[in-house]
Amino acid sequence: MIGKLLLWYARSGWGRGLRRSAFRKFCRARRGEVHVTQTIDGVTMETVLGDSVDNAIFVHGEFEPTSTNLFRRLVPHVHGLVDVGCNIGYFTCLFGRLRPDLPCLAIDANPHMIERSQRNLDLNDFHNTILLARGLASEAGRMTLHVPRDRHSLASFAYQPGSEKAAAIDAIDVEVTTLSQVLEEFRLPHGLFVKIDTEGFEHAVLSGLVIKDVEGVDALLIEANYRNLARAGIDLNRLLSFDWLAEFRWFEVDDPHGRFEAVTPEHVQARREINTNLLFLREALAEKAGL
């Protein structure tokens, strides 16, 4: 009974702070429970309570609502998705729901996340998605992926031995390649939407994208979290140092505060601390999407 009350309050109760408290208490009490649920967009997903992605999908029916709404607006105008750091496949499955006719390449270095993404794709009978259990970096080889035992969505190549979470992290040796090599291998069309969420390793992923392949990207959404970037030895200015980003319009997608707005490169680069998503759009796509 208490669990049902907490779940109701987390979804519909009064006061943002109280709803968040109910959300945390419910998810902690039900950690490890497996549920098959349906998102607001009609996607069926298997969730395992305990991680932030699963928790949000089960309780609220969506993850990162501002970014989700952005997907709804952009997807009708692109020709494919590359989801780097796909986790359990939330955005991959959302894309499949909105555009089942288009190709999608979902990539995650954690093989367990690829397995879970496959189950979610199967639940929805999506067939135009390729799942790739591989890391992306500035060059091909092998690297150690660090996976927090209780928070798989925070897995990253960026953690270093001796970090504050090292005691709770498992290490997995994985194959890595570059983003350009992947685009060439799977021959994806131009007009791509590329989403990158790799917990601080975004700069290395972008470093593996050569200029000729940038031309095929119409939309780029990347996580910019200064704490995660610092673990990789990267600051915001270095993350945004690629000259080709000047070809795009810049937007900030602030999920915690529900804010989406156009920004200038100078405005973003002047910020010392940032925890948001950054969107880069070709002018033509921005106009089509009404952005």
**Beta strand residue intervals within the chain, DSSP E:** 34-38, 44-48, 80-84, 104-107, 129-132, 135-136, 141-148, 169-177, 192-196, 217-225, 249-254, 259-262, 275-281
Q: pTM of the prediction?
A: 0.94
Percent of the chain with pLDDT over 70: 97
Q: What values do phi and psi take at 45, rounded to 5?
A: -140, 140
Kindly tell me if the per-residue pLDDT of 160 is higher than 70: no
At 5, list the tokens. Answer: 């009350």
Spell out the domain ranges in the chain.
1-30, 64-288
pLDDT at 163: 53
Find the mean pLDDT for residues 1-21.
89
pLDDT of residue 270: 85
Class of domain 64-288 as given by CATH:
alpha beta
- pLDDT (average), residues 88-97: 98
Classify 30 as helix, strand or coil.
Answer: coil
